[in-house]
């Protein structure tokens, strides 16, 4: 894994920028995932995994058939969940889930995993570099870190930011936006290579105009529009070098 400064002292040198564009383009699948939970379950099938952020804000999430941790546990060979919310973690423990209360942005868990899932976690954390470093420390060599994060290039985000009459707020507790280029660099700083990234297609648009837009998604992609335009979130997959 070569770092950018091995090629140039200037991070904006034209030759270096072209190398970075090529590297990020190689990781781009150019397609859309319709079933986020199903896709992530395929990645962990038969593996030892760590699922970060299992609570999903409230304990009521456990009742949903789409609760990510519940689905991952059914597919993984070994599954440990972690979250910082003590009361909710204790509740999940009483339900028989193998979960612990810990903050992996401060200290890594003293175990190694084949796959680490961090679903909609990174945008909440203000120590993203330490988070990536600790995830790398918890992965077996060749292991995979899978991050899903809101997409700053999603059509709805861009449209709502076009007009001065409104201010777009994604979530009150989000502290960052991440795209493939920034995560490529963040991963490399901690021994994690961006292997591929794929958009998660919006499947339940709320308005008629939005439904019409997403119905046209296949045709618009055929004429050259990028897949990520239709993705509210992106799945980023890193491999520990």
Tell me the per-residue pLDDT of 97-122, one tens digit each, with 9 for 90 and over.
999 999 998 999 999 999 999 999 99
For the chain, give every domain's residue range.
29-151+174-201+235-240
Q: What percent of the chain has pLDDT over 70?
A: 99
Contacts of 170 (CB under 8 A, 6+ apart): 123, 150, 157
Global model pTM greater than 0.85 = yes
How large is the average pLDDT for residues 41-62?
Answer: 91
How many residues are recorded in the chain?
Answer: 241
Place of tokens 């119905």: 215
pLDDT at 164 over 80: no
Q: What is the number of H-type helices and E-type strands within the chain?
A: 9, 8
Specify the pLDDT at position 43. Answer: 97
171, burial (CB in 10 Å: exposed 0-12, middle 13-18, buried 19+): exposed
* Protein fold of 29-151+174-201+235-240: Rossmann fold (3.40.50)
**Can you state the angle between helices 128-138 and 180-188, rounded to 10 degrees?**
60
């Amino acid at each position: 894994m070569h770092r950018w400064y091995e090629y140039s002292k200037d991070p904006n040198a034209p030759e270096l920028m072209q190398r970075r564009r090529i590297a990020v383009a190689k990781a781009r699948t150019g397609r859309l995932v319709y079933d986020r939970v199903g896709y992530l379950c395929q990645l962990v099938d038969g593996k030892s995994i760590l699922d970060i952020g299992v609570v999903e804000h409230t304990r009521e999430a456990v009742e949903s058939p789409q609760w990510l941790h519940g689905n991952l546990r059914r597919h993984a060979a070994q599954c440990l969940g972690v979250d910082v919310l003590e009361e909710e973690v204790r509740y999940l423990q009483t339900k028989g889930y193998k979960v612990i209360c810990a903050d992996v942005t401060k200290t890594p868990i003293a175990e190694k995993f084949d796959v680490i899932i961090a679903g909609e976690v990174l945008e909440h954390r203000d120590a993203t570099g330490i988070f990536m470093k600790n995830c790398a420390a918890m992965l077996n060599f060749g292991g995979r870190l899978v991050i899903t994060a809101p997409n700053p290039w999603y059509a709805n985000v861009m449209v709502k930011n076009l007009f001065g009459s409104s201010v777009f707020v994604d979530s009150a507790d989000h502290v960052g936006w991440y795209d493939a280029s920034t995560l490529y660099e963040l991963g490399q700083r901690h021994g994690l290579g961006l292997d591929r990234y794929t958009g998660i297609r919006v499947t339940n648009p709320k308005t008629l105009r939005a439904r019409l837009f997403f119905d046209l998604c296949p045709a618009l992609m055929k004429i050259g529009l990028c897949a990520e335009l239709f993705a509210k979130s992106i799945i980023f997959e890193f491999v520990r070098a």
